[in-house]
Structure 1
């Protein structure tokens, strides 16, 4: 059976002004409601001044509690897509997006859920909190850090949840202009005797690192990062213990086809025995296999322009089907087990294991 197209169309049925620089877009997919989990995201495709851009935005809605499908977007200074969405999208417009994906989802447990959000990082945290309260008996504790009172997102929504779940939901609003930046002491005070709880963290990188380092344990830590993942080391690090932080990088605003330039020209990897064959847009190209080169890099070297966005293993924009040979993905925070069983891979993360491999972009 042919796989449905990667990008679907959805109508913007409603736009909610959350703060002066944050909007919630209520979406109605053309081919019926999406099936998704709290904490997941969609990758959107926009064409701005003739250039295609791909951006991933988390869902602020929760499938167990909301009848509408919603994503919330905050303006990013200098951000091409976030500013374009705020300035140009209107109710009735259509957007292109993937089905929801991602692994920043609620894990089964009987311990409290601890949510830590910085700024717009509250978007997936709110979704996870609503799911936890609606489907489990677990307590939920949220520390929401914002620049000031006017920039606090979902303040009334969280107040309503506190009223609906008295005794189970605790929300601490931290205002940087009133309390200074969040520090380790503030985190420890907030956690108190609930260190066994599972922590879910989303926000700017410095905020997330502080939370991760300050948490006393022994609870598990799950993080969703804003920004592309750092390049993998030449030698893989030793396996981390079960209590280590689990992170799922979220793509930054990068124009499609843009690649960061290295500080110094890199020497091509040595050619290995074998061939990489790529099918894309009715074109077939083959190039000699290079050591350590991803299938996406091989496709570019072949002169093709394959789709990609984050190059972090997170957004699934570069997904293709492996029809010959085997490959190992360095990171996979997007494809499901069913996708893998069908032979799909993230070409930005897949490195051939066999002399010859063939991939087909759909």
Structure 2
């Protein structure tokens, strides 16, 4: 007698003969679940709308195009999940007061929601710097790329000596605390240490208190000079870590860092403006073009040898950006009119270029421009 075949279970259907995710052709993701990590941090788990499998290196990121208030806002988020779970990708996002994207995600993203994303991309990954011993240093939501790396080694059963030191405000703000402590119990070569500034509302912190410091670093990781170091967190945190490592005599060629701190863009804008002004004063006369930003009605001048982003910063026009290398796609904008010479690093698809999009961080004008910003 023939077996009775019923409808395929939806979860089974998602695993049935999936094709690889094609970064050039695929861009739609559907939210599958939302997980509470702490009182202000959530993880959003996505899969492709049609069965796809993702191939990425732990620590890489996706660039999302969110439709918020009738405007497309591009943001980079590190993939917090490991490549050992290839049917989904997850991002972990902290709600930032006044943050247009983080608040929108926390308030509106739910299972079934559809978003667009491009990637994966990025060079901040332990796969590109193989070592026997690692030190992962993270502050706040900078924990996500480190978590992807730690999860990967744990899932694969890799015998790697990993020291993971995370800085948080209170014990209640330690993202992935339970999972990291479980991994440490499972693997004696994996050591997790948290540093908290203060006690939590329901827990007095028994460990190292305050901020990360040289004495704390030497106490928690006495052999740090033997390790490959990865650092991610807010800009002040990473600057402090850099100073500590230099003072401790660490080989800085073995330090790797990543940040998508959009709240720090104003400082970056100021620095870029100073550099651009110096370049402007020292260069020979070049042809300049007018660049009009359609939404703000601002008009600036941009030399043919200057990127639109650099000229905008010099003029005090603040535009979203992150990598400034044509890689992340954060500064992607529609050219209403005009032409540019663009040399990008993969942060834009050919079909987007054909539709008139450009990355302002690596686009130099070849005519007057009107930008839909």
Assess same fold via TM > 0.5.
yes
How far has the Cα of 1:167 moved from its partner?
1.8
* Aligned residues of 2:288 and 2:304 also touching (Cα < 8 A): no
Of the three residues 85, 110, 125, the one matched with 2:146 is 125
How far has the Cα of 1:136 moved from its partner?
4.2
* Aligned residues of 1:44 and 1:96 also touching (Cα < 8 A): yes
**Is 1:202 the counterpart of 2:232 in the alignment?**
yes
Deviations along 1:285-336, whole A, 9 cap, x unmatched?
xxx982531166799xxxxxxx97436335124579xxx998767xx6x659
* Aligned residues of 2:40 and 2:95 also touching (Cα < 8 A): yes
**Structure 2 residue aligned with 1:149:** 171
- What secondary structure, in the 3-state scheme, does the structure 1 residue paired with 2:121 have? coil
Q: Distance in 2 between matches of 1:52 and 1:349?
A: 17
**Structure 2 residue aligned with 1:60:** 80
- Which one is further off, 187-196 or 23-32? 187-196
Q: Distance in 1 between matches of 2:161 and 2:358?
A: 36
**Is 1:218 the counterpart of 2:240 in the alignment?**
no
Q: Distance in 2 between matches of 1:161 and 1:63?
A: 17
- Which one is further off, 178-187 or 76-85? 178-187
- Going from structure 1 to structure 2, the CA distance change for 1:18 and 1:67 (only over 3 Å counts) comes to same
Of the three residues 182, 185, 207, the one matched with 1:160 is 182
* Aligned residues of 2:54 and 2:86 also touching (Cα < 8 A): no
Deviations along 1:326-349, whole A, 9 cap, x unmatched?
8767xx6x659x99xxxxx98434
Q: Distance in 2 between matches of 1:94 and 1:82?
A: 16
- The 5 Å alignment of 1:1-362 reads 8-31=27-50, 32-64=52-84, 67-106=87-126, 107-133=128-154, 134=156, 136-164=158-186, 166-177=187-198, 178=205, 179-215=209-245, 216=248, 217-218=250-251, 220-225=254-259, 226-227=261-262, 228=265, 229=268, 231-232=271-272, 234=275, 272=286, 290-294=303-307, 309-310=321-322, 312-313=324-325, 314-317=327-330, 347-350=359-362
Q: Distance in 2 between matches of 1:325 and 1:56?
A: 24
Q: Alignment RMSD, CA only?
A: 4.2
How far has the Cα of 1:196 moved from its partner?
1.9
Deviations along 1:143-196, whole A, 9 cap, x unmatched?
0111111111101111221233x2210000111104122222212222202312
Deviations along 1:73-103, whole A, 9 cap, x unmatched?
1100111111111111111111121122111
- Which one is further off, 127-136 or 38-47? 127-136
How far has the Cα of 1:210 moved from its partner?
1.5
Q: Structure 1: where are the runs of 5+ without partners?
A: 236-265, 277-287, 300-306, 340-344, 358-362
Deviations along 1:218-269, whole A, 9 cap, x unmatched?
361111122345555649xxxxxxxxxxxxxxxxxxxxxxxxxxxxxx99x9
Deviations along 1:109-167, whole A, 9 cap, x unmatched?
33311001111111111101223443743211000111111111101111221233x22
Q: Structure 2: where are the runs of 5+ without partners?
A: 1-21, 199-204, 291-300, 313-318, 334-338, 351-356, 368-373
Question: How many pairs were matched up?
Answer: 300
Q: Distance in 2 between matches of 1:145 and 1:21?
A: 16
- Using the size of structure 1 for normalisation, the TM-score is 0.69
Q: Distance in 2 between matches of 1:37 and 1:289?
A: 38
- Going from structure 1 to structure 2, the CA distance change for 1:78 and 1:7 (only over 3 Å counts) comes to farther
- What secondary structure, in the 3-state scheme, does the structure 1 residue paired with 2:239 have? helix
Q: Distance in 1 between matches of 2:192 and 2:307?
A: 44
* Aligned residues of 1:111 and 1:196 also touching (Cα < 8 A): no
- Using the size of structure 2 for normalisation, the TM-score is 0.67
How far has the Cα of 1:200 moved from its partner?
0.6
Q: Distance in 2 between matches of 1:317 and 1:120?
A: 19
- Going from structure 1 to structure 2, the CA distance change for 1:7 and 1:297 (only over 3 Å counts) comes to farther
**Structure richer in helix, relative to its length:** 2
